[in-house]
Every structure is written in C-alpha cells, then in structure tokens.
C-alpha cells in the first residue's frame, strides 16, 4: 500500500516549516507590539454556528464531521432513500471544521462577553478548512492570521491597522501598496445616481476600466440596467485619477446629495490626515474599485498588493458594524485585517527575502570517532546547549565520508571533530564548512566562536 | 440563539494562550537545541492511512469527515437500510482527523523517504482529535508535542531523549522522576517462566503491589493461569527494590536463560552508564511496572512523573522497531518521546511556575486626553514600537476613570499620560501601576525606562 494525503492538503518539510515559522513569528510579533492579544478557538464548531454565514456556496464548502456512534438515529427510511445529500448532512453531522476565523471570533466574543474588556483587541493564527476545488495556490487547509478590534467605532483603529500592515511588510522587506476604499462612499455613489441597489454592479464595472476601456465600462453599466443619465453622472468617477485628495474632491461633487456618502468622504479624509502624520514606509492609496466583502463591511475596506511580484492581494480587511449580531449581541462595531500566509510565502520565496538564520537548524554537528571520543563530545555538547547553541552528535562511529555527507545534507555550517589528539588535549577541532577553515578550541572558546 | 462549542473542545483566552505558548515555546526550543527539526502534516489524513492502526476501539474514536457533494454515491438502497454505522462510515467518509502524530509521521517518512536524510530527527507540535467521552482533563481536541528519530538503532538516542526530558522539565522548574523499562526484559521474564504469551498479564499484576500487596499479586497471577512454579520464580521480581544496579542483578538472575531478556538488561546497563556521566537534574529509575505501549514498543520504554503534583504521566515514549512497516517500508528503527501539554499546563498552574513576563501583554498603555495629545502620543508610540516595546493608545478621549479601569483590566504595568503640561514640554508622564511612582520623561528616557 502506497500512502498519500488528501488532495488540497500539504506536508511541510523542516525547511518549509522554518520559513513558515518566520512568517508567523513576524506577524505575531507585530500584532503583540500593537497590543493585540492572542486567542484560539476549537477546530470544530457546531454546524449551527457555521451554517448560513458564508452564503449558499459556503455551506457546501464546509467540511462536516460525521456524528460518532449510530449516526442513522432519527433519520427515517424515506429520508435515507431520498438521498438528499445537502438536507441530510445536518442530520448525519452536528459539527463542522472552521471555515474562517471571523465567525468563530464573533461566537467567542458573544460567549465570553462578561469576561472581556472592550475595546477587545485580539489576534488569532490558526488553520481553516474549505472543500474548495484544489488548484495552484488554493488549498483545502490553510492558515489565516487575523487581527481585529471589537467594541469601538473609533477611526483610530483604522489608522492602527494601517500602521500594522506597514510594519509587517517593512519587516519582511516587501514593498506594498496599501489600498483603501469605503463602503459608505460606494453606497453614496449608488444613491446619488438613484441606483441604491446597484452598488456592487457599479463597483465591479468600474474595476474593469484597465481591461475593457471607458466605452466598455459604460456599455456594461447600461447593460446592467443603469439609465443613461446615471452613467453620465458617473463619468468623473470612472475616470478618477490624481492624488488621494484630488480624488476625494471629485467624488465629493458627485455624491454631494448623499449623507452616507459624505460621511464616507469624511472618514477617508480623517484617516488619510492622521496617516500623513505617521512615518509609513509604504503608500496608502484611495481605490474606489476595491469591492472586497461588500455584503459585510460597513466602513473602511483595505487591500494590500505586493509591488514587485504579480500576485493577488496579500492582506485585506475592513470595518464591520454588526459582526456579533448573528449571535444575538447587536451594536458591536469592529474592524480587522487578515494576512494571507500562503501568498506571503510565495512572495518571500520569489524575492528570496528569508534571513539566512531562518533556514539553518543545528549550528554544529559533532562527528563520532569512537566511544571515548563520543563520551568527551557529550560533555562539550552539554556546555553548548546550556549556552543555547543548537548542537548534536552523530550517533555511531560510522565512516567519516558517511558522517560528512550527513552534515552536508543537514546544511550545518560547522562540524566539530574530536579524535585521539583532541582527546589528549581536551580540545575540539571546529571546521567551518563554508570557508573550510579549521581551529583547535577549548570548550569555552568553542562557545564564543559559535555565538 | 445562544452559541456554544462542541463538547470536549475549548476556547483559549489571551491569558491561557500566553501560558500555553510558554509551554510550547519551551519544548520547541529544547527540541531545536538537540537538533530536532520541525515538520507539520495535514489535519486530515485518508481514512485508509488511519484505520486499523489504533485497534478496534481506536477506529471508533476517529473523527470522520463526510465526503463533499453526493456522499450517497456508490451505496445501494440495501446498504443504506442496513443502517450499519461502522461499515458505511468508510463509504460516507474518505478522510478522518489525525488521531495522534505517530501514524502521520510514519506516513510522512515513507512518502518522503527519498528527500530525507537518515537518521531523521523530527519534532511535531500539532493538535490531534479523538471522539472520546469528554471528562475532566480529557479533551476531544488536544495538542501533542512529539520528538522522534528514525533510521538508527543507536542507543545514543535513548540517552539524548532522556537528556531532553531532563532539560525540558529543568526549564519549567518541575521536579520529575524519569522512569525507564525495557520491553525485552519483560519479554525475557515471561519467557523465563515459560509464559511468553502472558507478558502483559504479568506486568499488570506486578504493578498492583502497592495497592493489593504481595498476596494479592500472587493470587492474581494464579488467577490469570500462571502455574505455581512460575509465580514462585517471579517472587524476587515482584518484591524488586534497591538501586537500579541492584534491581538489574536480581532480574538478570531470574531471566538468565533468555537471550532477549539479557539483551534488555544490557541495553538498560548501557543507557544507565552513559546517563551517569551526564549532569542530569532529575533521577532516572528502572521501573519494571511500566506497561506503556507494550504492543508497540520493542526496546526502552519511558514515562515521566511530576514529583510535587498528583497527576498521571506528563511525558512518555520508547523505542519501536517497525513504525513504517505498515506503509511498506520495513526495518526502520525509531525512538521517540511525547510531552503532554495539557497535563504540564495543570502542573505549572498548581505550582505557580509561570514566569511573570509570560502573562503580561502590552507593556504600556497611553491614556487619551484629546486630539492634539493623542497625535503626540502616536509619535512616541512609533518610537517605542521601533524599539520593540509593546504599546498602545486608548482609542478616544473617554473619562479618565474608564481609561484607568481598562488599563487595570488589561493588567498593564505602566500607564503613560500626555496632558497639556506634557504636550508643552514634549515629555511624557510614566506611571508605574504597581508602585504608584510617576516620572516625567523624554521619548528616549521612556524607552530606556521600559526596557
């Protein structure tokens, strides 16, 4: 029998793990630096918590866990023979695997509301599962890295999240464009042309300007049912260009009649003004074509693009005003961002941005030249480990060639050799595998050399 | 609707997470110090990989994931109406959640044998799932922390694992007894009294000496079908006492006719001799009553008990000679240990052994006294974060009392205040919440004070 793993899942080798840990550790450090506190939730949630939260398509993509014991209980013969997969799923299964970190977080806040102090700043780094069709770069098990604040509608947190995004990618050494939109502006625009229910259509059409040109966009808007008058009024928006402030002025004119829209303008101005006073390494750009999570976000919307690699968005988020409402706790405003670890992994790989120390594990391998020599090595190994230096000994006195090829395969930088001569003097020969240089050292000298 | 989580699962709050991270980080650091390299495997494995590996009971305890789409496909009406839960599970479900880290590791080694360098020293820290009846201290989702070496039968690795156990618990500040047994000795004893198939019965009976006394043990052995002659011969073993070497001498006499048994004695002697040359903080004790994984381990067996807390074993492991055989790769010897994070958590809680720094998150909270003051605070916050100091600002100019009670609830040690006076001089008042002491500091002075 030849073993395999389920499609869409992955094994991670030591080198891949070292790189992934570098990504997770960096993001976690930044989250902590800004005062976000870690939580974890169970991999399984009750299906009643998950169902209906991700649309009809989402319900199908949930991994459902079969009930233990007699899972046929309570199902009639007729129901069984109906073979209605979707309907019977909730009878066969009470639990499902987490689909994202947002719904479990909302459930967490509602369940623990009495113990929490608001505003509650939390971060969470855990895998999620989706029964999506696996394809290049899309997996059935993958990590999300989320930071959210709930219980405050202060725009200060939009600013804080923008700073966090900037700090994370500065640490990675990746140049990015941070793009910002505002759901209230989009709603205001749709309102201003008397097409309040066409917000998404308008946004999606405008987003195609680069691909299909101005005439194409106008044609699509008419096709979607917008009257010519509305399309005419939207012309300045479709052709929107210039600095953030120039864009805001144009938008302001078009949606001047919409209270909601003007509030969106005001929010953007406030955030841009505050951001201008901080020392951001990356640019923040107003981009009306961001249509991320429109049936979900209520204020600011963020998306981050890498400048030097062709890849989709590598981070995103926004403001939502009613996350916990679905669980019976209305009126809790929140704002959050999510980092896509798998895409960041690809970006760092392509730009070769991993610090050298990330990948190397063991610092020094002691060769094994026989029992007495190995005994002596064990003492030195203890000293090294007490000094925090990762070190190991080859397990038996195999041929030198075999031991050296093991050292090479592990990618250790240093090899330590204790033969008869070294044993007599109580010293160790340290060989730098890169330069080929050798030194005869005492235990203490060895520690300083390896530090 | 009142949300809940599936029974046997847990949410982890920020304080619990900080403690758990301290445990995982400590164990991970030690694994790395000894040259073990991290891997991760998918949460889901094919059921064909998992089934039959944990006994009949284990098969029932696997969480099975319902196939996506039409899961009735390929099942006849007769089969459906038979309502045979166990048999049909493998038709409804192709995948299951990982039950431990050992079988996935064996699968990993076989699948990646060409890329791996042997001896392969790996560690893995991931959750596992079991549909066990939940009870105090037993969960349906819990973490395992495993380190194993495969591809070498050198006893040097038994020694290394003992050192690792010793280092881990020394770092935690927990006093433990490391207990060692050897499957070959147990087999040898059973062989010596001509009861080779009664190895487990004999071990289990001897283990009851403290509870039921010598007469009780003898009665149980007779009851299990051992002849009086065998029970007589086992008397020195049941009453076994003294130092490790004294015990070995007695055992050696009893099993002198068994080649396997003598090999077990020799292995124990070698390990004890080597250990005596290292500087262990904890004791290593020979204990013939360890019956852990007897249908699995083939040489050394380890178990770790905390000395100052009444709790089951907090770590354990052993040597196995054919882990990968089930996946068609025979003859690969391995040895490993596993740390029980949940029990270690309980032990550290009971003994109050968490370092203070573990639990505190944000170092300093800036109070918000108004817009101009907050703008100034933002500059200082950037300086602090660039210096690696975790800091945050209250999001709006709420009443002082509210902001202070937020600081208290978060448990921050320091509060920073910028009012009109501070703003005029460009300084910050830093208040130590423990001592009540206040200082007026520049940004640079603040950084040194908080470091």
Q: Say if the Cβ atoms of A13 and B39 lie within 8 Å.
A: yes
CA proximity to B361, closest of B395, B405, B402, B411? B411
pLDDT of A359 > 80? The answer is no
Element (H, E) at A129: strand A120-129
- What was the pLDDT predicted at A271? 97
- What was the pLDDT predicted at B56? 86
Mean pLDDT computed over B28-35: 96
**A contacts of B66 (beta carbons < 8 Å):** 63-66, 89, 92-93
- What was the pLDDT predicted at A413? 93
Q: Say if the Cβ atoms of A39 and B17 lie within 8 Å.
A: yes
Q: Which residues pair with A317 in a beta bridge?
A: A302, A337
**Confidence band (pLDDT; 50, 70, 90) for B86?**
confident
CA proximity to B182, closest of B248, B106, B253, B102? B248
**A contacts of B119 (beta carbons < 8 Å):** 395
Q: Say if the Cβ atoms of B65 and A69 lie within 8 Å.
A: no
- Beta pairing, strands A93-97 & B93-97: unpaired
Mean pLDDT computed over B335-346: 95
Q: Say if the Cβ atoms of A375 and B277 lie within 8 Å.
A: yes
Report the predicted TM-score, pTM, of the whole model to 2 decimal places.
Answer: 0.94
Residues A279-296 pLDDT 10s: 899 999 999 988 877 778
Mean pLDDT computed over B252-258: 94
A315 alpha-carbon distance from chain centroid? 7
Mutation to test the B interface, candidates A2, A66, A163, A393, most B Cβ within 10 Å: A66
Token pair listed for A105: 């977080």
- What was the pLDDT predicted at A45? 98
Mean pLDDT computed over B60-67: 96
Please state, rounded to an integer, the average pLDDT across all residues of chain A.
Answer: 94
Distance CA A36, CA A38 (A): 7
Q: Which of A202-211, A228-237, B32-41 has the lowest mean pLDDT?
A: A202-211
Cα distance from N-terminal residue to C-terminal residue, chain B: 47
Give the number of residues written for chain A: 451
B22 vs A357, which has greater pLDDT? B22
- Show Cβ contacts of residue B259 under 8 Å, excluding neighbours closer than 6 positions: B188
Residue B42 contacts A where some CB pair is shorter than 8 Å: yes
- What was the pLDDT predicted at A18? 94
Catalogue the long-range contacts made by A327-332 (C-beta closer than 8 Å, 24 or more residues apart): A327/A106, A327/A107, A327/A110, A327/B1, A327/B2, A327/B3, A328/A110, A328/B1, A328/B2, A329/A109, A329/A110, A329/A113, A332/A109, A332/A118, A332/A150, A332/A151
Residues B171-228 pLDDT 10s: 999 999 999 999 999 999 999 999 999 998 998 898 888 889 999 999 999 999 999 9
Residues B91-144 pLDDT 10s: 999 999 999 999 999 999 999 999 999 999 999 999 999 999 988 888 999 999
Nearest to A38 among B17, B131, B375 (CB): B17
pLDDT of A247 > 90? The answer is yes
Q: Which residues pair with B180 in a beta bridge?
A: B286, B302
Mean pLDDT computed over B318-329: 92
Query: How many percent of chain A have pLDDT more than 90?
Result: 86
Asked whether the beta carbons of A34 and A120 are under 8 A apart, the reply is no
Give the number of residues written for chain B: 451
Q: How far is A198 from chain B (nearest CA, A)?
A: 32
- Show Cβ contacts of residue B408 under 8 Å, excluding neighbours closer than 6 positions: B433
Output the CA angle B414-B415-B421, nearest 5 degrees.
Answer: 135
Mean pLDDT computed over A389-418: 95
Element (H, E) at B106: helix B102-111
pLDDT of A55 > 90? The answer is no
Q: Provide the Cα torsion A150, A153, A159, A161; round to 10°.
A: 20
Buried b (16+ CB within 10 A) or exposed e, B362-387: bbbbbbbbeeebbebbbebbbebbeb
Residues A182-215 pLDDT 10s: 999 999 999 999 999 999 899 889 888 888 999 9
Write out the DSSP string of B43-103. Answer: SEEEHHHHTTSSHHHHHHHS-EEEPSS-TTTT--HHHHHHT-HHHHHHHHEEEEE-S-SHH
Distance CA B186, CA B204 (A): 11
Residues A8-49 pLDDT 10s: 999 999 999 999 999 999 999 999 999 999 999 999 999 999
Question: Burial, B451: exposed, middle or buried (Cβ in 10 Å; 0-12, 13-18, 19+)?
Answer: exposed
Distance CA B301, CA B299 (A): 7
Residues B155-181 pLDDT 10s: 999 999 999 999 999 999 999 999 999
Asked whether the beta carbons of B41 and B146 are under 8 A apart, the reply is no
pLDDT of A5 > 80? The answer is yes
Asked whether the beta carbons of B89 and A89 are under 8 A apart, the reply is no
Element (H, E) at A374: helix A371-386
Mean pLDDT computed over B319-334: 93
Q: What is the largest CA-CA distance in chain A?
A: 96
CA distances (Å), origin A4, targets A11, B58, B107: 10, 21, 8
What value does the CA radius of gyration of chain B take, rounded to a whole number of Å?
A: 29
CA proximity to A95, closest of A126, A64, A51? A64
Interface of A with B in 348-367 (CB under 8 A): 361-362, 365
pLDDT of A400 > 90? The answer is yes
Distance CA B110, CA B49 (A): 12
Q: Provide the Cα torsion A284, A285, A290, A292; round to 10°.
A: 10
Asked whether the beta carbons of A416 and A364 are under 8 A apart, the reply is yes
3-state secondary structure of B202: helix
Interface of A with B in 382-421 (CB under 8 A): 382, 385, 388-393, 395-396, 406, 409-410
Interface of B with A in 99-118 (CB under 8 A): 107-108, 110-112, 115, 117
Q: What are phi and psi of A23, to 5 degrees?
A: -65, -50
Interface of B with A in 276-335 (CB under 8 A): 277-279, 327-328
pLDDT of B360 > 70? The answer is no
Q: How far is B385 from chain A (nearest CA, A)?
A: 6
Token pair listed for A398: 């195999």
- Side by side, the strands of the sheet bearing B44-46 are A44-46, A93-97, A64-66, B64-66, B93-97, B44-46
Mean pLDDT computed over A151-156: 96
**B contacts of A49 (beta carbons < 8 Å):** 3, 5
Token pair listed for A214: 């101005």
Distance CA A416, CA A431 (A): 6
Q: Which residue has the tokens 């099942």?
A: B75
- What was the pLDDT predicted at B1? 67
Element (H, E) at B385: helix B371-386
Distance CA B384, CA B450 (A): 9
Q: Say if the Cβ atoms of A1 and B34 lie within 8 Å.
A: no
Nearest to A83 among B72, B327, B392 (CB): B72
- What was the pLDDT predicted at B101? 97
- Beta pairing, strands B37-38 & B120-129: parallel
CA distances (Å), origin B241, targets B141, B229, B237, B248, B304: 40, 22, 9, 10, 19
- Show Cβ contacts of residue B318 under 8 Å, excluding neighbours closer than 6 positions: B183, B292, B293, B296, B297, B299, B300, B301, B302, B335, B336
Asked whether the beta carbons of A85 and A1 are under 8 A apart, the reply is no
CA proximity to A96, closest of A139, A53, A157? A53
C-beta atoms surrounding A333 within 10 Å: 20
Residues B399-421 pLDDT 10s: 999 999 999 998 899 999 999 99
Element (H, E) at A109: helix A102-111
B197 alpha-carbon distance from chain centroid? 32
E-only strand ranges, A321-376: 334-340, 364-366
Nearest to B378 among A49, A93, A278 (CB): A278
């Amino acid at each position: 029998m030849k073993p395999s793993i389920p499609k869409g899942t992955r094994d991670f080798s030591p080198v891949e793990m070292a790189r992934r840990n570098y990504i997770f550790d960096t993001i976690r450090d930044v989250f902590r630096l800004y005062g976000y506190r870690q939580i974890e939730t169970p991999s399984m949630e009750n299906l009643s918590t998950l169902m209906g939260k991700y649309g009809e398509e989402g319900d199908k993509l949930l991994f459902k866990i079969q009930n233990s014991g007699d899972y046929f209980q309570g199902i009639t013969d007729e129901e069984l023979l109906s073979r209605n997969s979707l309907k019977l799923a909730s009878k066969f299964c009470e639990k499902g695997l987490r689909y994202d970190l947002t719904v479990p977080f909302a459930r967490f806040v509602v369940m623990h509301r009495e113990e929490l102090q608001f505003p509650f700043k939390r971060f969470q780094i855990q895998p999620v599962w989706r029964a999506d069709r696996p394809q290049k770069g899309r997996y059935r098990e993958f990590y999300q890295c989320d930071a959210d604040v709930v219980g405050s509608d202060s725009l200060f947190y939009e600013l804080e999240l923008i700073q966090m995004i900037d700090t994370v990618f500065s640490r990675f050494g990746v140049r990015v464009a941070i793009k910002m939109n505002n759901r209230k502006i989009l709603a205001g625009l749709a309102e201003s042309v008397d097409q309040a229910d066409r917000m998404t259509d308008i946004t999606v059409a405008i987003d195609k300007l680069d691909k299909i040109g101005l005439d194409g966009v106008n044609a699509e808007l008419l096709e979607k049912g917008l009257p010519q008058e509305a399309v005419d009024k939207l012309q300045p928006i479709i052709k929107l260009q210039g600095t953030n402030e120039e864009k805001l002025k144009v938008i302001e004119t078009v949606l001047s009649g919409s209270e909601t829209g003007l509030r969106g303008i005001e929010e953007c101005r406030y955030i841009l003004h505050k951001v201008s006073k901080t020392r951001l390494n990356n640019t923040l750009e107003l981009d009306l074509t961001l249509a991320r999570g429109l049936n979900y976000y209520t204020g600011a919307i963020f998306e981050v693009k890498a400048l030097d690699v062709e890849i989709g968005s590598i981070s995103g988020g926004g403001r939502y005003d009613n996350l916990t409402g679905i669980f019976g706790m209305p009126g809790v405003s929140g704002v959050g961002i999510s980092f896509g670890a798998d895409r960041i992994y690809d970006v760092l790989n392509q730009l070769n941005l991993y610090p050298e120390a990330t990948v190397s594990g063991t610092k020094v391998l002691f060769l094994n030249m026989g029992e007495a020599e190995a005994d002596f090595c064990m003492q030195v190994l203890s000293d090294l480990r007490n000094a925090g230096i990762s070190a190991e000994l080859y397990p038996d006195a195999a041929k030198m060639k075999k031991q050296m090829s093991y050292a090479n395969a592990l990618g250790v930088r240093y090899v330590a050799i204790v033969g008869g001569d070294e044993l007599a003097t109580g010293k160790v020969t340290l060989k730098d595998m890169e330069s080929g240089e050798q030194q005869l050292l005492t235990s203490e000298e060895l520690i300083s050399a390896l530090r």
